[in-house]
């Protein structure tokens, strides 16, 4: 029997990688659902190649175009926030949740209700909505699998482990494009420089987050929510080559780490096939590269973002939501040349130190609306107080 698949955000990098993994073994799968925001041309192409049963475009103005071009293809076309429950008739096997930003939270919750397995590549859904995700995964008996290479590695390394077994959990960071840039020059770096990640081909926003280590701040928070290990056991270290994704030191003296090439198809493939299918066309890490791996401590003067971790985790249930929303606004301001690169973290501190922060951060969310209220406050406050 074919495994039924849905991909939320199929035209993005993770969605595309997921389809590339499936393409090599297409006879094993049935594509029940694909969704995209505005990239209708790519969505149409995907629907035809993979014979998708249903597609959904968020931007209504492309709805009729897609309907016309997929006429006779056997594909049902939807638009907007159409629930999976109104599209599929029974629970599907696997959903990839890869919609970028907090916009992916509601579709992820929806997917949990109608999927046996939900693979999550949307860190914002976990950071902002873990209270709700964990609640629904228990109700609907859905398995959640992290796709980010760091969390996928922690999941693999910590199987059958308790907190008492573990001494330290290390998440690696490449250091981004400014690893060796003199600190005094960071305030003058330009957006085009910040988005040139040395190892990964990523979107502009996540590339900026990597450049100042905000991505690792979020990854550590995400790991704390996904895995029930003591928060004080997590640590970030710089590993410029990006081949080692996570390291765990065990109390019995053993250290384990997971290495793989900088290709997201590896964790994706392993969650789809459950490590049972050999991947083709994946570059092996040569012995020469293995002999050149380096690791060193994070310099908090170069990467002041790491100081936000403790403040955020102690700030309340919705503190990560506020941090995420504020950061999205500030990265956008930087990319539009409205603020300096170094002003991103400075302004994040201003938001977290605002007198109204606790009012919005300490509330335990009972619904998506509670999350959106804090998200909106953070965005409005960030725009009003941000300085160059």
pLDDT, tens digit, 9 for 90 and up, residues 195-214 = 988 877 778 898 999 999 99
Residue ranges matching CATH 3.40.50.720 in the chain: 3-146
HSE at residue 271, side-chain half, CA atoms within 13 A, is 29
pLDDT at res. 386:
73
What integer pLDDT is reported at residue 287 of this predicted model?
A: 85
Residue 25 has a pLDDT of: 87
Q: Which residues contact 117 (CB under 8 A, 6 or more apart)?
A: 93, 94, 95, 142, 143, 144, 145, 271
Cα separation, 173 vs 166, whole angstroms:
21
Locate CATH 1.10.1740.10 in the chain.
315-388
The dotted CATH code for 3-146 is: 3.40.50.720
Tokens 């494009």 — which residue? Answer: 177
How high is the pLDDT of residue 101? 83
Q: Which of 61, 60, 108 is nearest to 84 (CA)?
A: 108
pTM over 0.85: yes
Q: Could you give the CA distance from residue 328 to residue 143 in angstroms, rounded to a whole number?
A: 29
Burial classification of residue 99, based on how many CB atoms lie within 10 Å of its CB (0-12 exposed, 13-18 middle, 19 or more buried): buried
**CA–CA separation, 242 vs 210, rounded Å?**
12
Q: Which of 257, 258, 250, 370 is nearest to 322 (CA)?
A: 370
Angle between helices 319-335 and 123-139 (to 10 degrees): 150
In the chain, which stretches have pLDDT less than 70? 275-283, 388
Q: Looking at residue 185, what is its pLDDT?
A: 96
What was the pLDDT predicted at 97?
Answer: 95
Domain 315-388 - what CATH class?
Answer: mainly alpha
User: pLDDT value at position 135?
Assistant: 94
DSSP H helical ranges for the chain:
13-23, 40-50, 63-69, 105-114, 123-139, 149-157, 191-194, 204-212, 214-226, 265-273, 287-290, 308-313, 319-335, 343-352, 357-361, 368-385
Q: What is the pLDDT of residue 281?
A: 62
Note the pLDDT of residue 275: 59
Q: How many CB atoms lie within 10 A of CB 358?
A: 13
Could you give the CA distance from residue 115 to residue 183 in angstroms, rounded to a whole number? 47
Alpha carbon distance 117, 197 (integer Å): 31
Query: Do residues 378 and 351 touch, judged by C-beta distance below 8 A?
Result: yes
Residues contacting residue 208 through CB under 8 Å, at least 6 positions apart: 191, 194, 195, 214, 331, 334, 335, 341, 344
């Amino acid at each position: 029997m074919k495994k039924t698949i849905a991909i939320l955000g199929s035209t993005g990098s993770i969605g595309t990688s997921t389809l590339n993994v499936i393409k090599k073994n297409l006879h094993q799968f049935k594509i029940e659902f694909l969704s995209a925001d505005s990239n209708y041309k790519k969505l149409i192409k995907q629907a035809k190649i993979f014979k998708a049963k249903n597609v959904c475009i968020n931007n209504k103005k492309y709805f009729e175009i897609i309907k016309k071009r997929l006429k006779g293809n056997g594909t049902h076309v939807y638009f907007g926030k159409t629930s999976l429950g109104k599209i599929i008739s029974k629970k599907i096997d696997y959903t990839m949740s890869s919609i970028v930003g907090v916009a992916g939270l509601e579709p992820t919750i929806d997917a949990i209700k109608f999927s046996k397995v939900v693979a999550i590549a949307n860190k914002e859904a976990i950071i902002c909505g873990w209270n709700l995700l964990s609640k629904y995964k228990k109700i609907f008996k859905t398995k959640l699998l992290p796709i980010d290479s760091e969390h996928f590695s922690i999941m693999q390394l910590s199987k059958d482990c308790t907190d008492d077994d573990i001494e330290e959990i290390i998440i690696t960071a490449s250091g981004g494009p400014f690893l060796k840039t003199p600190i005094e020059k960071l305030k003058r770096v330009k957006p085009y420089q910040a988005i040139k990640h040395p190892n990964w081909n990523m979107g502009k926003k996540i590339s900026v987050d990597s450049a100042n280590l905000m991505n690792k701040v979020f990854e550590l928070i995400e790991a704390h929510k996904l895995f029930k290990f003591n928060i004080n056991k997590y640590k970030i270290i710089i590993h410029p080559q990006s081949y080692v994704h996570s390291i765990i030191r065990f109390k019995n003296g053993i250290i384990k780490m997971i290495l793989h090439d900088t290709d997201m198809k590896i964790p994706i493939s392993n969650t789809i096939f459950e490590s049972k299918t050999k991947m083709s066309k994946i570059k092996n890490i040569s012995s020469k590269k293995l002999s050149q791996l380096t690791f060193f401590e994070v310099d908090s003067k170069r990467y002041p973002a790491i100081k936000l971790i403790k403040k955020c985790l102690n700030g309340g249930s919705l503190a990560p939501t506020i941090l995420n929303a504020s950061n999205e606004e500030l990265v956008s301001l930087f990319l539009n040349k409205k603020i300096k690169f170094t002003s991103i973290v400075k302004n994040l501190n201003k938001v977290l130190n605002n007198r109204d922060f606790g009012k919005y951060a300490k509330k335990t969310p009972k619904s998506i609306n509670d999350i959106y209220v804090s998200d909106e406050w953070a965005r409005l406050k960030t725009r009003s107080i941000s300085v160059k």
